[in-house]
Amino acid sequence: MSSFGFLILIVAFAFLWLVLVRPQRRRQTEQQKMLSDLHVGDEVLTAGGIYGTITRLDENEVTVEIAPDLRVRVARRAIAGVSPRPEAAQEADEPGEAEAPPEAGGEPTDGGPPNDEHPG
């Protein structure tokens, strides 16, 4: 019966490793990768909740501009996240796309009654 108890103990440790340790290691490696991929001009969020743009990178420090002519030094590990680069956002917005005209039957802009086909 003691071998059965030992087997349950090993299964419990394996389950805890899969549920707790493995995801934490994955988050750690993603954080390290994000910190190593920082570039001047990146929009970042610090661990303190301050948004800014990176103006200078050192090995352990980052200078972040949080307002015009206002720069702060923060530890590199205090960068909590990076906003998508402006080039990536521009690729999503196709140039030359016009705003779609309002659909017929919608709310009129002159304040008159709606132009619905069925009574409401």
Residues 68 and 81 in one domain: yes
* Cβ–Cβ under 8 Å, residues 21 and 61: no
Residues 44 and 81 in one domain: yes
Q: Report if residue 111 sits inside a domain.
A: no
Mean pLDDT throughout 35-41?
A: 90
Q: 47-67 b/e with 16+ CB inside 10 Å = b?
A: eeeeebebeeeeeeebbbeee
Instruction: CATH number of the domain at 64, please.
Output: 2.30.30.100
18 has pLDDT over 70: yes
Distance CA 79, CA 35 (A): 7
Token pair for 70: 């206002």
* Cβ–Cβ under 8 Å, residues 60 and 75: yes
Token pair for 112: 């008159």
Residues 29 and 4 in one domain: yes
User: How many structural domains is the chain composed of?
Assistant: 2
pLDDT at position 67, please? 94
Q: Report if residue 104 sits inside a domain.
A: no
Confidence of residue 117 (pLDDT cuts 50, 70, 90): low
Q: Report if residue 101 sits inside a domain.
A: no
Mean pLDDT in the chain? 79
pLDDT at position 104, please? 53
Residue 74's domain spans which residues?
39-86
Put simply, whether the predicted model's pTM sits higher than 0.75 gets the answer no
Residues 46 and 81 in one domain: yes
Over residues 57-78, the pLDDT tens digits come to 998 999 999 999 999 999 999 9
